[in-house]
């Protein structure tokens, strides 16, 4: 059971109004709207003339438990309860032997980003000629959607994944500790640097080979049961030696940085937004539609727009609204060249909003398609992130392949990639190259560190490395454990949601007349959203910062809904499993879901799943 004194927002009463002709920068900054908006508050966007009548106001209704329960069943919707009921605690606890809460308000951050995306998509749909009176977003449903790859793997038809939750020794798994006490993460994208690095540190070949698979598997399984010999070897060397051996072998290394150090970084001090949007006219926006609020371009004829089904379909031609369109991005085409989680999730979200998504894969297909557990002939995890996309196999490293990419882009509205820095220019597929064949293209790059990051001084931009460097790992610190990245891919997932948000904003900006729109997002930007005000010292105690801690409460009760991000207690109180005994003791609680396979079979939760060789979560929004 998870219990606490939390008194979060009753999100079922929260409504946001959005004009068809304006989008407020203030509203689109509301990444944590589900936590920061008071019950019953109606937020309308600002205009240059506050007395001017709104041509049409669409209503966004944020629902807490929504169709997945009620306050009578689960209590008020809040971060702790949602982490427990949706299975997030179970996934987070795989590496430590039992369910554990995250020490940051992850689901609140995701809910806020998706709420903003829904607002922007509604405005885009209306600008394109649709009439949208109401959009609904379920926050508990959104929480499940963010766990889609874990739920799919756990429910695959063919040997569903059963991840053991045996206790692992905290010192035997990453991050590792050097002889001088520096905690550090390591990363390699293939086995050769990994083997060479640990061989330099004196680990026997057998233990190196046996640990490679479990270490790479942490991205999908949220566990990393590597051989203890790795930690034993690391602690025999100073961090300077570790860095030197990493440079020799090609391994990437990052210290687990304290929040007090992260708070002095330039991007935090000057507050860089999680995504930026730039056009040829020089206009730039950060977390909102750029420029002052103003009129959209001309709006075409209004079309029919009924409630959506479970999944939206796209239309194949142009950016006009097809007759009978039911989703705000219907008629738009997205071409993506992405791998792993962040980029594919962004494309999935755009497809769920109605766009047609064309996926470029190498000849023979993405290797991740064949990684068990399988749902028919496709990896369940891969299916969860790429369902509904059409595929073109293209070797874009060749002149012929490059021409094929340009042919696809010529009929597209968005190009999305998450290639390594500099690769697009090297391939001749950068923004200027694509704009030459499609001037109206929205060019989106979902990266690790961002376009302006000093790449020479930073490690590989992967989820766990960014967690270590950005302070997220320190924010997850609990009383009984040292700082460590979560093995839930928090930043990849949140980064995918933010990339989709930025792309929808880019499409909206294009509708307003912007040309040459480029959208940049990053995992580092996602970390700033996740850590929120606490990263900038708002509400963080002086002593906690001075000691290098996260500024969270060190124990006691769970803080209320107005607490800053990162304030959620990361331990689960030891309480009886019987709710009646909890009530008798004056406590409230909800059951902690420990078996992800049971969620789709639940009579309440099962209604938001589809079965396609595994359980797939339906999109959490409805438009009418």
Q: Angle 164-494-67 (CA atoms, 0-180°, nearest 5)?
A: 80
Residue 319 CA, distance from chain mean position: 27
Q: Angle 174-179-184 (CA atoms, 0-180°, nearest 5)?
A: 30
Task: Give the CA count within 13 Å in the CB-facing half-sphere of 61.
Answer: 13
Neighbouring-strand partners of residue 567: none
Give the max Cα distance, the chain: 74
pTM of the model: 0.83
Q: How many CB atoms lie within 10 A of CB 362?
A: 15
| Distance, CA of 89 to CA of 91 (rounded, Å) | 6
| Distance, CA of 507 to CA of 518 (rounded, Å) | 10
**Which residue stretches of the chain have pLDDT < 50?**
2-55, 286-318, 539-579, 582
| Distance, CA of 80 to CA of 2 (rounded, Å) | 7
| Distance, CA of 142 to CA of 60 (rounded, Å) | 15
Q: What pLDDT does 59 receive?
A: 82
Q: How many CB atoms lie within 10 A of CB 480?
A: 9
- Helix 490-511 / helix 106-127 crossing angle, nearest 10 deg: 20
Q: Which residues of 42-61 are buried (b: 16+ CB within 10 A; e: fewer)?
A: ebebebeeeeeeeeeebbbb
Alpha helix ranges (H) inside 534-622? 542-546, 579-584
Pick the CATH number of 2-162+265-284+329-537+603-623 from 3.90.1200.10, 3.40.50.10540, 3.20.20.70, 3.40.50.2300: 3.40.50.10540
Q: What pLDDT does 271 receive?
A: 79
| Distance, CA of 516 to CA of 520 (rounded, Å) | 13
Per residue in 441-490, pLDDT (tens digit) is 999 999 999 987 766 678 999 999 999 999 999 998 776 678 899 999 99
**Beta-sheet strands, E only, within 82-237:** 134-138, 176-177, 183-187
For residue 207, the surrounding DSSP H or E stretch is helix 205-216
Helices (H) and strands (E) in the chain, counts: 26, 22
For residue 92, the surrounding DSSP H or E stretch is helix 88-92
Structure tokens at 273: 């937004």
Q: What pLDDT does 454 receive?
A: 65
In the chain, ranges of CATH 3.40.50.10540 domains: 2-162+265-284+329-537+603-623
Q: How many CB atoms lie within 10 A of CB 300?
A: 12
User: Do the Cβ atoms of 208 and 195 come closer than 8 Å?
Assistant: yes
User: Do the Cβ atoms of 99 and 572 come closer than 8 Å?
Assistant: yes
Signed CA dihedral, 68, 73, 75, 81: sign only: negative
Q: What pLDDT does 191 receive?
A: 95
Alpha helix ranges (H) inside 355-396? 380-386
| Distance, CA of 237 to CA of 228 (rounded, Å) | 15
Contacts of 547 (CB under 8 A, 6+ apart): none
Per residue in 218-239, pLDDT (tens digit) is 999 998 889 999 999 999 999 9
**Residue of 253, 259, 260 lying closest to 234 (CA atoms):** 253
**Beta-sheet strands, E only, within 381-491:** 390-393, 414-417, 442-447
Per residue in 133-162, pLDDT (tens digit) is 889 999 999 999 999 999 999 999 988 877
Contacts of 353 (CB under 8 A, 6+ apart): 117, 121, 312, 327, 328, 329, 500, 504, 619, 621
Query: What residues are annotated to the active site?
Result: 492
């Amino acid at each position: 059971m998870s219990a606490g004194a939390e008194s979060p927002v009753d999100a079922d009463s929260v409504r946001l109004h959005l004009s068809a002709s304006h989008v407020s920068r203030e509203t689109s900054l509301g990444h944590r709207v589900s936590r920061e908006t008071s019950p019953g508050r109606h937020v309308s966007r600002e205009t240059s003339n506050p007395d001017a009548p709104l041509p049409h106001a669409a209503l966004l209704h944020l629902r807490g438990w929504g169709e997945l329960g009620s306050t009578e069943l689960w209590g008020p919707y809040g971060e702790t309860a949602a982490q427990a009921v949706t299975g997030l605690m179970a996934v987070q606890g795989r590496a430590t032997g039992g369910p554990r809460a995250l020490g940051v308000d992850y689901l609140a951050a995701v809910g806020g980003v998706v709420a903003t995306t829904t607002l922007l998509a509604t405005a885009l749909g209306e600008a394109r000629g649709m009439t949208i009176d109401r959009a609904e977003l379920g926050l508990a449903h959104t929480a499940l959607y963010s766990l889609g790859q874990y739920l799919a793997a756990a429910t695959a038809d063919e040997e569903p994944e059963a991840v053991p939750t045996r206790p692992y020794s905290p010192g035997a798994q990453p991050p590792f500790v050097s002889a001088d006490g520096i905690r550090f993460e390591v990363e390699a994208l293939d086995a050769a640097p990994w083997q060479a690095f640990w061989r330099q540190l004196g680990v026997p070949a057998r233990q190196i080979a046996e640990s490679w698979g479990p270490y790479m598997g942490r991205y999908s399984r949220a566990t990393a049961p590597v051989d203890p010999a790795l930690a034993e070897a690391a602690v025999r060397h100073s961090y300077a030696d570790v860095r030197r051996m990493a440079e020799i072998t090609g391994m990437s290394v990052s210290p687990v940085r304290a929040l007090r150090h992260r708070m002095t970084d330039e991007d935090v001090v000057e507050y860089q937004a999680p995504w930026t949007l730039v056009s040829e006219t020089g206009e730039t926006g950060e977390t909102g539609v750029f420029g002052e609020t103003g009129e959209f371009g001309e709006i075409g004829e209004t079309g029919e727009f009924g409630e959506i089904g479970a999944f939206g379909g796209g239309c194949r031609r142009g950016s006009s609204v097809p007759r009978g369109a039911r989703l705000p991005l219907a008629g738009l085409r997205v071409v993506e060249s992405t791998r792993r989680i962040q980029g594919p999730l962004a494309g999935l979200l755009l497809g769920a909003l109605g766009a047609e998504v064309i996926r470029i894969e190498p000849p023979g297909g993405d290797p991740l398609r064949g990684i068990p557990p399988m749902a028919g002939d496709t990896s369940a995890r891969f299916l969860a992130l790429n369902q509904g996309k059409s595929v073109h196999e293209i070797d874009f490293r060749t002149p012929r392949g490059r021409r094929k990419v340009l042919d696809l882009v010529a009929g597209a509205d968005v190009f999305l990639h998450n290639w390594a820095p500099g690769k697009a220019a090297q391939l001749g597929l950068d923004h200027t190259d694509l704009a030459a064949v499609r001037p109206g293209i929205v060019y989106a790059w979902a990266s690790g560190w961002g376009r302006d990051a000093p790449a020479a001084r930073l490690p590989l931009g992967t989820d766990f490395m960014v967690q270590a460097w950005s302070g997220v790992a320190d924010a997850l610190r609990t009383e009984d454990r040292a700082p460590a990245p979560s093995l839930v891919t928090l930043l990849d997932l949140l980064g995918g949601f933010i990339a989709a948000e930025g792309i929808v904003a880019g499409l909206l900006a294009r509708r307003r007349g912007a040309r040459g729109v480029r959208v940049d997002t990053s995992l580092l930007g996602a970390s700033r959203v996740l850590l929120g005000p606490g990263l900038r010292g708002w509400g963080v105690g002086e002593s906690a910062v001075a000691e290098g801690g996260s500024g969270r409460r060190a124990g006691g009760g769970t803080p209320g809904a107005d607490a800053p991000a990162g304030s959620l207690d990361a331990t689960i109180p030891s309480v009886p499993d019987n709710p009646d005994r909890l009530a008798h003791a004056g406590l409230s609680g909800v059951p902690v879901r420990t078996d992800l396979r049971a969620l789709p079979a639940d009579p309440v939760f099962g209604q938001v799943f589809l079965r396609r060789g595994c359980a797939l979560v339906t999109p959490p929004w409805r438009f009418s």
